Amino acid sequence: MNSDKTKILLLGAGGFIGTNLTEQLLKNEKYKVTAIDINTEKLEGSLQNKNLIFKEYDIRDSNYPIEELIKNNEIVVDLIAMANPSLYVSNPIDVFNLNFTENLRIAELCLKYNKRIIQFSTCEVYGKTVASVLKEDPIKRPFPFNEDTSPMIMGPIKNHRWIYACAKQLLERVLHAYGIEKGLNYTIIRPFNFIGPRIDFLPSEKSGNPRVFSHFMNGLLYGTPIRLVDGGLNYRAYTYIDDAIDCIIRIIENPDGVCDREIFNIGTPENEISIKDLATLMKEIFNQNFRQNLDPDPKIISVSSEEFYGKGYEDCDRRIPDVTKARTKLNWYSKHNIESVVFNTMEYFVNKHRAKYN
Ligand SMILES: NC(=O)c1ccc[n+]([C@@H]2O[C@H](COP(=O)([O-])OP(=O)(O)OC[C@H]3O[C@@H](n4cnc5c(N)ncnc54)[C@H](O)[C@@H]3O)[C@@H](O)[C@H]2O)c1
């Protein structure tokens, strides 16, 4: 009997967050998940589960039955996006079309069929810090990003990497407007740098430009230099994927409607580290726990952002999440410190690599 199960439509279920979320939801018999993605590779372990229906669809394809799927589910979780900084620079129009236009269509169908939508946005909507605008040291002027009070400061148009943040921000603004004018029940999630198993491919194994952890891991396993973009001076606060999924599930469960028409940061301010220090920490953890005799010893070098990403790149110097809302409304606290975030993610990559080559 499936009738008592909560029916969830998970769009982008084959990605990093999507696969980890699907796996966790399926551990609980109370969910029935319909998963949509253009990619099945990372979802393979879950495909046979009786509580999962997987459909390989491209949401840009006008022939796919999205309306029917939304009608037949209770909650829509939308993770679909181009979520990789190199694409914001190389394919800004595609980024806008998918991350704003296509996702807006999903939200409008949720409004039409009176379904709750959980929309993944990004911490990038906050833009830059006050310190960077005033040309001050970001360490001396910490500026935690709060969902409901922080202003959002974007870079100039010529630095087109901001199109990702702007598309996500505009989508948030439209959802909010649909909420106040037409009663759309949305929850917006702003992830702050999740990492963990299945985050991305390694560039030596598949072409493309993944996120930072995979680049550094590639250096440790294949000996390619660990390249610090503009010296790696920016700071990020990393959250382990299991902690993030724990919070996302609390948002899905939505006790007493506390998440209705709310925005949630999900992040771990205690895990803040500069990218440069992340590279050093990764080397140390690798050497202490995983190093084998013939493993390479990559150099850490600095490259310009233009050399790494191309023209139009600009970055935020510091992103500190204010997670008071997730703590007070959902009683959520992340459990993994930065060392265990790095260790666990590294273990996943090392095991995969050794299984392939040893
Ligand atoms: N991982 C993070 O730390 C982080 C940070 C900020 C924001 N986010 C947001 O969270 C969401 C999920 O991020 P992720 O890290 O899992 O990214 P991801 O790239 O691993 O997952 C996105 C998934 O969407 C799928 N997809 C893309 N285009 C599609 C299409 N046209 N039709 C169907 N499926 C399509 C991809 O195949 C992919 O599996 C995104 O919206 C992203 O912007 C994530």
Supply angle C-alpha 252, 255, 259, rounded to 5.
Answer: 60
- Which atom of ligand 1 is nearest the CA belonging to 60? 31
The rounded Å distance from CA 45 to ligand 1 centre is 19
* pLDDT tens digits for range 62-99: 999 999 999 999 999 999 999 999 999 999 999 999 99
Distance CA 59, CA 80 (A): 9
Task: State whether the beta carbon of 321 lies less than 6 angstroms from ligand 1.
Answer: no
Tokens of 249: 């599930």
In this predicted structure, the answer to whether residue 358 has a pLDDT above a threshold of 80 is no
In this predicted structure, the answer to whether residue 111 has a pLDDT above a threshold of 70 is yes
Question: Looking at residues 257-283, what average pLDDT do you find?
Answer: 98
The rounded Å distance from CA 299 to ligand 1 centre is 31
| DSSP code, position 200 | -
Predicted pLDDT at 145: 98
Task: State whether the beta carbon of 120 lies less than 6 angstroms from ligand 1.
Answer: yes
Beta strands 272-274 and 239-240 are unpaired
Question: What is the DSSP secondary-structure string of 206-274?
Answer: SSS---HHHHHHHHHHH---EEEEGGG--EEE-EEHHHHHHHHHHHHH-GGGTTTTEEEEE--GGGEEE
Task: State whether the beta carbon of 240 lies less than 6 angstroms from ligand 1.
Answer: no
Q: Ligand 1 pocket check: which of 19, 41, 80 to mutate, most ligand atoms within 8 Å of Cβ?
A: 80
Q: Considering only CA atoms, which residue is closest to atom 25 of ligand 1?
A: 12
The rounded Å distance from CA 305 to ligand 1 centre is 23
* pLDDT tens digits for range 128-161: 999 999 999 999 999 999 999 999 999 999 999 9
Distance CA 329, CA 88 (A): 33
In this predicted structure, the answer to whether residue 221 has a pLDDT above a threshold of 70 is yes
Question: Looking at residues 30-41, what average pLDDT do you find?
Answer: 96
- Domains of the chain, residue spans: 81-199+239-272+316-338
In this predicted structure, the answer to whether residue 272 has a pLDDT above a threshold of 60 is yes
In this predicted structure, the answer to whether residue 320 has a pLDDT above a threshold of 60 is yes
Q: What is the pTM of this model?
A: 0.97
> Environment class of residue 352 by beta-carbon count within 10 Å: exposed (0-12), middle (13-18) or buried (19+)?
middle
CATH architecture of 81-199+239-272+316-338: 3-Layer(aba) Sandwich (3.40)
Predicted pLDDT at 3: 65
pLDDT band at 207 (very low <50, low <70, confident <90, very high): confident
Q: 3-class DSSP state for residue 83?
A: coil
Q: 3-class DSSP state for residue 48?
A: coil
Q: Ligand 1 pocket check: which of 9, 17, 104, 212 to mutate, most ligand atoms within 8 Å of Cβ?
A: 17
Task: State whether the beta carbon of 16 lies less than 6 angstroms from ligand 1.
Answer: yes
Question: Looking at residues 252-275, what average pLDDT do you find?
Answer: 98
Task: State whether the beta carbon of 193 lies less than 6 angstroms from ligand 1.
Answer: yes
Distance CA 143, CA 320 (A): 7
Task: State whether the beta carbon of 85 lies less than 6 angstroms from ligand 1.
Answer: no
The rounded Å distance from CA 225 to ligand 1 centre is 27
The rounded Å distance from CA 292 to ligand 1 centre is 34
Beta strands 75-78 and 6-11 are parallel
Tell me the catalytic residues.
164
pLDDT band at 208 (very low <50, low <70, confident <90, very high): confident
Question: What is the DSSP secondary-structure string of 137-150?
Answer: -TTTS---B-TTT-
Place of tokens 């909650």: 75
